[in-house]
Structure 1
Amino acid sequence: MAVKSAFNRPFNWVILLFCIIFVGLFIFTFVNEKFYQTPIGQITHIENKSTSQITDEHHNKDIKHKETLKIKILNGKFEGKTATIQHDYVESQADSEAFSKNNKVLLHIDKHPNDAYITEKKRDSLVVAVTGLFLLTVLLVGRKIGLQSILSLIINTLIVILAIYIHNQSPTVSLFALMSVGIVISTTLTLLLVTGWQWRTLITIISTLLGTFLCIGLTQLVIQLTGGQGLKFETMTFLTLPPKEVFLSSVMIGSLGAVMDVAITIASGMNEILRRTPNISMARWALAGRNIGQDIMGTMTNILLFSYISGSLPMILLYLKNENTITYTISMNWSLEISRAITGGIGIVLTIPITILLMQLWFKLRGVRQ
């Protein structure tokens, strides 16, 4: 009876359908070699030829392995044939990768199977597993809201990719302008999906966009006044785009999520307070909104900081291992990341009073309309 009752709820069928699709895709990744244009092989045998200790010019010690790999090719014109290749790797795997028997790998083959070399492991099974578990967790915890969040995540990803694609096809079109348009569309669709069409949704959209673009405007002003001193744009010299434009675009995308979170938290909190205590004074209502903003301001700023600097941790260790000073290492790896975090923090701080003022303005113009 309990099982029958559970499937009387339509959303449980959605979760069951998702689980079936997820398991099906996961199983498919083990037999999908024929769908790849890139040659794929499976390692059938590994023979260790030699193991030696090596030391570089900075006295970093490592162990180097030389192996002979036998790989059965699973697709393409050499399907069914076996390639025997030499493979070297160091235990730290700083610039190489270790493989195990039965690993499936992507290959590059010139004319003969024995000319092949490994480009990387075939990781689609891991990607599907991690992505599926994440989406399933969101659905189980968030239910309908979780499904809307997944849809907004997909839409936002497509918008960013589309902006990059358009700029790549038409380099004369500003990347920053494309991202700005994408941010407006993304914010509107995300908040409509997550919160639905309510009076506070419009306030959240406006405060999110104002907070985001104001902090970007201030960042642009500071860069103009200081000439960008202290910002290590040379770490992006491999780009064929103006580094400042790429930097501002990345700041805008990174700040948007935190600013949106602050705006929706304050707007929803103030709306709930007003619903429960409709006779609250305007000053007390604004103070409540400010207290909510103060409670989340520090945590959201820290989330931005940790998110940005965590990605550069491997590079910091690599710099230090090669005898660079700690100040040079931090300036080269954390200059742009800390600047992004500070800019996002400014956006968070600005969004708090903007949201409170818009809530008060709406109250004065329209009254309390639930």
Structure 2
Amino acid sequence: MNIIIVLAIILAICMLIIGGKKGLRSFIALFLNFIVVIVLLFFMNVPQFNPILLTFIACIVVSIINLFYINEVNPMTKIAFVSTLATTGFLVVLIWLFTKSSLIQGFGEEETEELSMMSLHIGLDFQQIVISVIIMSTIGAITDAAIAIASPMREMLTLHPEATRKQLFDFGMHIGRDIIGTSANTLFFAFFGSYLALLIWFNDLSYSLGEIVNSKIFSSELITICCAGIGVTLVIPITAFIASYFLKDTKEETHLS
């Protein structure tokens, strides 16, 4: 526990020195998001509540914290917020279709020994739980991509107020193409970094490549990565489109007034 406190203090100092007040807000936002997740887990244990709806509400709260609390309320964060909600709403439907057909809910064969002494009749829909897990895994990457597109587009219009909507949209897409590769690689290596022990375990069990790919644990994580990648990719044109119209209209109204 002492190590965690020391690391948290070092992180807070680094974020404060490098990021200033915004860095301090970012550090506080980490704990606020942690509280949101804890509250989400608490309400998920209540059978009367729909886990997917609760997760979507939690994503809204997380987006508000990450966008409006850290970066304050401005046109840039408003665009990123709307883009995040639109992308997340589309992903909920997409994830529901994929998880329903892939049957990745529940536990894998490798976990049956540890769970043999426990009851699985907990009164919760495992398919809804796995959808909630995937949604929460994607919200951070989607929010980051949305703000990464909206912020430079705002600066672009400030420096070049004569730019047309199409030019703004093309500029946002150009930035988006640059961050797609890095975002996809971040998600990919985050998976292998977190589940390296699992892959070693598969190797000890002498799993073939086909058995690894078709195992429920591996498939669920790979589907999570793919859904997160789809979300990061889709939020780019959505943010660029919304920003090109919203920022241009705001600029024109400012000139008229």
TM score, norm. by length of structure 1 = 0.61
Deviation at 1:232, TM superposition (A): 6.7
| CA shift for structure 1 position 185 | 1.4
Q: Which residue identity lines up with residue 62 of structure 2 in the other structure?
A: S
CA contact (8 A) 1:308 1:341 kept: yes
Confirm or deny: 8 A CA contact 1:163 1:178 kept in the other structure.
Answer: yes
Select 1:354's aligned residue among 232, 238, 256: 238
| Structure 2 residue 214 is the aligned partner of structure 1 residue 334 | no
Distance in 2 between residues matched to 1:289 and 1:366, nearest whole Å:
17
Deviation at 1:331, TM superposition (A): 3.1
Measured in 1, the distance between the counterparts of 2:189 and 2:170 equals 29
Equivalent of residue 50 in structure 2, options 132, 157, 174? 174
Tell me the SS of whatever aligns to 1:132.
helix
Rounded Cα–Cα distance in structure 2 between residues aligned with 1:246 and 1:289: 35
2:58 maps to 1:185: no
2: CA distance, partners of 1:338 / 1:222: 12
Give the 3 Å change call, closer, same or farther, for CA 142–262 of structure 1 in structure 2.
Answer: same
Whole-Å Cα distance in 2 between the matches of residues 366 and 325 of structure 1?
57
Determine if the alignment matches structure 1 residue 217 to structure 2 residue 93.
yes
The 1:364/1:281 distance shift into structure 2, 3 A limit, reads closer
> Given the alignment of the two structures, is residue 137 of structure 1 paired with residue 10 of structure 2, yes or no?
no
Alpha-carbon distance, 1:150 to partner: 1.1
1:127 aligns with 2:1: no
The correspondence for 1:147, drawn from 20, 24, 39, is 24
2:86 is aligned with 1:203: no
Task: Extract unaligned runs of 5+ from structure 2.
Answer: none
Matched, 1:296 2:172: no
Whether 2:125 is the aligned partner of 1:242: answer: yes
Contact 1:309 1:338 in 2 (8 A): no
Of Structure 1 and Structure 2, the greater strand share is in 1
Task: Map 1:1-370 onto structure 2 (within 5 A).
Answer: 124-168=1-45, 170-224=46-100, 227-228=101-102, 231=104, 233-235=106-108, 240=122, 241-332=124-215, 333-368=217-252, 369=254
Q: Give the C-alpha shift of residue 263 in structure 1.
A: 0.5
**Displacement after TM superposition at 1:173 (Å):** 1.4
Q: Which amino acid aligns with 1:314?
A: A
**Is the 1:215–1:347 contact (alpha carbons within 8 Å) kept by the matching residues of 2?**
yes
Partner amino acid, structure 2, of 1:320: N
Q: What's the offset of the Cα at 1:157?
A: 0.8
Q: Higher helix share goes to which structure?
A: 2
- Equivalences, count: 243
Show structure 1 runs of 5+ residues with no match.
Answer: 1-123
Inter-CA distance 322–228: structure 2 relative to 1 (3 Å threshold): closer
| % identical equivalent positions | 25
Quote the Cα distance in structure 2 between the aligned partners of 1:292 and 1:179: 30
Q: Deviations over 1:33-64 (max 9, x none)?
A: xxxxxxxxxxxxxxxxxxxxxxxxxxxxxxxx
- Distance, in Å, in 1 between the alignment partners of 2:145 and 2:14 is 23
Maintained 8 Å contact 2:67/2:77? yes
Which deviations, in whole Å up to 9, do the C-alpha atoms of 1:4-54 show, x marking residues without a partner? Answer: xxxxxxxxxxxxxxxxxxxxxxxxxxxxxxxxxxxxxxxxxxxxxxxxxxx
Root-mean-square deviation (CA, aligned residues, Å) is: 2.1
Judged with a 3 Å threshold, the aligned counterparts in structure 2 of structure 1 residues 311 and 279 are, in CA distance, closer, same or farther, namely same
The alpha-carbon deviation at position 267 of structure 1 amounts to: 0.4
Q: CA deviation at 1:222?
A: 3.4
